[in-house]
Chain A
Amino acid sequence: MGLFKGMKGMKELGDHHGGRPSLRSAMKDISALTDDRGANEILQTGVPARAIVKGFLAPIPGDKFGMAIPLEVHSPGNAPYMIDHVVPSARMKTPLSMGMEIPIKIHPTDGSQIAIQWDALQGSVAAQGGDTAAVMAGLSQTQAADAGAAMNASMGMAPGQPVFAQPPAATPAAVDPAERLRKLAELRDAGVITPEDFEAKKAAIIAEM
């Protein structure tokens, strides 16, 4: 792997992803990628609290480096309240999933601005047995219906709409009745089903015709 081969590989990779951006565009991307969106300042001056993740990370249209996630903020001495927090993607150190309890700091004068304490959260996730275990523990804290509704909301789907379209189930009636009778007879002759089972199924198939 020489230098020129490496450079050729980089060019091919760039072309694969739509070509290299202009220098100006690349600088804008680097700036957006490294922007902490005020998190460090809140971590320095904010009030420690906790939050419950109430949904799933969702991409924000037009924002390549931020993800939105609904949080229920539990601030000391105040009633819990909901915010839609924008996570700078490059700052993430652990998964964030529904039901997880996470350490945060709240802006001293604006309760809608928070920062996630990623290092402390890493400790919490490790204590639970790692990323997958923490995610599963969070999901077990919530109702399956809530999780489904949150997944639909994050994907912009109507309540109750299945997340993934299900293929139509193959019904027995879709198969040729004569073929079904032949297979039933084979099962009876092989001793897999009794003659009584065969007669009952035969009657049902004939009734469907």
Chain B
Amino acid sequence: MADEITIQFAVTGQPDAVRTYWRSEPPNFLNENGYRMVDESYDSLVFSRTNRLAGIVSWGMSKTTARLAINFRVDGTFTKITVTGQAPERAREQIAEYAASCGGGHDPRMTRFLLARGYAV
């Protein structure tokens, strides 16, 4: 689907601490693109943004809400962060830049797909 993104990268620290930090200080790619936290679970935060202009222009027929689920999972002394959901192009670029600043990101579904078929990843 359009505007979809799934990317995984690692940061230092344990998942609970990283999740707590992200809840209180969301990264710029969320704040600058109008995402607000709408839900949280034991291992995830969910952010949502509303595109009011698209809703008005299309008389409410266009998709006006985009959600990003952010999962925090332990990986040794690191936390694996997975961002998945919908984001406009600018936000997707910023997320990719953020992942690159953490050492690089990848789509875990694609990695899994390639590994299952014997490709070196």
Q: Contact residues of A with B, CB < 8 Å?
A: 43, 48-50, 103, 117, 119-120, 122-124, 126-130, 133
Contact = CB atoms under 8 A, between A and B. Distances in A.
Interface string B18-55: 00000000000000000000011111111000000000
A48 B73 CA distance: 18
Interface of B: 6, 8, 39-46, 67, 69-71, 73, 80, 82-85, 108-109, 111-113
Contacts, number: 71
24 contacts: A48-B41, A49-B42, A117-B41, A119-B44, A120-B41, A120-B43, A120-B44, A120-B69, A122-B69, A122-B84, A123-B69, A123-B83, A123-B84, A124-B43, A124-B44, A124-B71, A126-B6, A126-B69, A126-B84, A127-B8, A127-B71, A127-B73, A128-B108, A130-B108
A123 B108 contact: no
B40 A127 contact: no
B42 A48 contact: yes
B-side interface mostly: strand
B85 A120 contact: no
A122 B8 contact: no
A120 B83 CA distance: 10
A120 to B, nearest CB: 4
A20 B24 CA distance: 52
B39 A127 contact: no
Given A122-B69, A123-B70, A103 B84 contact: no
Which 8 residue pairs are nearest across A and B when measured between Cβ atoms? A123-B69, A103-B41, A129-B112, A123-B71, A130-B109, A120-B44, A127-B82, A120-B41
Given A50-B41, A120-B46, 13 more contacts: A103-B43, A117-B44, A119-B39, A119-B46, A119-B85, A120-B43, A120-B45, A120-B71, A123-B43, A126-B109, A127-B8, A127-B73, A127-B108
B108 A129 contact: yes
A117 B46 CA distance: 10
Contacts of A120: 39-41, 43-46, 69, 71
Contacts of A123: 43-44, 46, 69-71, 82-85
A130 B42 contact: no
A117 B70 contact: no
A182 B6 CA distance: 63
Contacts of A127: 8, 71, 73, 80, 82, 108
Contacts of B44: 103, 117, 119-120, 123-124
